[in-house]
Structure 1
């Protein structure tokens, strides 16, 4: 447990620093948007491309990937059942489903790499390669299907998916690994430097994107669905891992990835596609705070 806390505390510290920098306006709001764009288009794809290209896929636990996808579909289905609850308008249902299937990749990458080094980084990257596309498809469909009114032309999630720089990096990294192509040293070193920057800037941006004032607006609905997300997705992930025979470090990585809070980008997508943007903001804030308790507790339960 001490090793996990050692890995978690720096993540919390950097996220907190990002929030302080944002609240104090030491870094302007427009600058944060530029940092997020840089991370999304260049830094994070560089990290994924290099890690996947160098990963030993002949030993990759594909059961881990399958278990995480199944967990996303399962908890997305739980969110879909929210439509039968009283006082749950369509846009709120879409936002709940999105919250249930998205995860904070940067937090997962940081904890995984600090706990297990290159192996942990590679395993979380494998998780990202399958969870990010799945989350995007499920989220877009859920938000569009439950929106009160269409917000412009309906996007095709599959077309948008293959324009996503992160997905492109996943495909490129998998192709290089599958073809056993070794990255030239100059390219490998360049991608490594960019990837190192991705983790730091990603965590800072995650902190800057959290609106803690949303905690004051959060009611029983936000709290209950935050707990469903933070406890439900890890429970499904671990359950499917056990069914598929995934054990050891990959099992712990599955728990870490599933137990992170929902992605801070949830608010932007909810706003663009007709979801309940206010509820999405509340879910992000509450889950980010609660995850500091639930994530270590779940890790302790798994490793006892």
Structure 2
């Protein structure tokens, strides 16, 4: 229990500071985009490159990552089966499986397992948007009765793939892995600034989560939002855990995947719903609700899977 508290308390406190700062308008809603750019374009690439520079491809455990995406596929297809194959169901299915791996996952995994845990999380992050956004784009563009968007479905999918690859996440991961194969150490004059930038990622990202929550209103969407939040933070990790145990998986890499599945809905789902003009209010509310339901899931997962268990 002490390990769970020590891991969750800094996350909750930093998020709470962000909420207060947002409510008091010390950080205005207009500044969230600038904070987002700082996190995604500066701090994240520094941390990703520096961490992956010390990882060999053979150290990446593929089975836990495959288990994570297998659970995603089951939930996504299940959502389409229950709610019908339409644009709203496709966005809701994406919300039920798309984790906030950056702003919450990276600082949380870093606190619990350090760089060793991050080395397991980053390969998942590098594939996360590519796999899930492409899947959702296919479902949206090919949904029966969908009005044309002006793009051929194949071109829309190719654009989704290109956007997911040409992104400040996969590129520094691949660059870091490539650098690691040279056997050269990162020069200290470069390594130290990268280290300092990487250390700033967690606090700044969590502050941004809090500011975003301070400006989110649930309104009449809370019922649908709660369903999506429970699918994401309860059903998703339980499926990852169940599939992994059935396959005989264990160890740190598997624990990181289960914890990643516990995380709340990522902001990319909101951007996706805005782009297609589908269930925007419900997704916005679900992102907020899942942030709170994830606290319970994360606490349970850490109690079962944290180091020393």
Indicate which of 255, 258, 270 corresponds to 1:255.
258
Deviations 1:193-219 (Å, cap 9, x if unpaired)? 111122221111122222675334334
Q: Distance in 2 between matches of 1:204 and 1:83?
A: 35
Which residue pairs with 1:51 in the alignment?
Answer: 51
Which residue pairs with 2:110 in the alignment?
Answer: 113
Which residue pairs with 1:35 in the alignment?
Answer: 35
Q: Distance in 2 between matches of 1:163 and 1:25?
A: 34
Which residue pairs with 1:90 in the alignment?
Answer: 86
Which residue pairs with 1:126 in the alignment?
Answer: 123
Instruction: State the SS of the aligned residue for 2:277.
Output: coil
Q: Contact 1:141–1:157 (CA<8 Å) still a contact in 2?
A: no
Q: Give the TM-score taking structure 1 as reference length.
A: 0.88
Question: What's the CA shift for 1:93?
Answer: 1.1
Question: What's the CA shift for 1:244?
Answer: 4.1
Which residue pairs with 2:138 in the alignment?
Answer: 141
1:82 and 1:191, CA in 2 relative to 1: closer, same or farther beyond 3 A? farther
- Residue 295 of structure 1 pairs with residue 298 of structure 2: yes
Indicate which of 197, 201, 205 corresponds to 1:198.
201
- Residue 167 of structure 1 pairs with residue 170 of structure 2: yes
- Residue 103 of structure 1 pairs with residue 106 of structure 2: no
Question: What's the CA shift for 1:286?
Answer: 1.0
Question: What's the CA shift for 1:143?
Answer: 4.4
Q: How does 1:53-92 map to 2 (within 5 A)?
A: 53-84=53-84, 90-92=86-88
1:176 and 1:75, CA in 2 relative to 1: closer, same or farther beyond 3 A? farther
Q: Contact 1:52–1:170 (CA<8 Å) still a contact in 2?
A: yes
Q: Distance in 1 between matches of 2:166 and 2:298?
A: 32
Unaligned runs of 5+ in 1: none
Q: Contact 1:71–1:237 (CA<8 Å) still a contact in 2?
A: yes
Q: Distance in 1 between matches of 2:76 and 2:68?
A: 12
Question: What's the CA shift for 1:274?
Answer: 2.7
Which residue pairs with 1:229 in the alignment?
Answer: 232
Deviations 1:55-92 (Å, cap 9, x if unpaired)? 254333222222222222222222222433xxxx9343
Q: Give the TM-score taking structure 2 as reference length.
A: 0.86
Q: Contact 1:53–1:173 (CA<8 Å) still a contact in 2?
A: yes
1:244 and 1:46, CA in 2 relative to 1: closer, same or farther beyond 3 A? farther
Question: What's the CA shift for 1:34?
Answer: 0.8
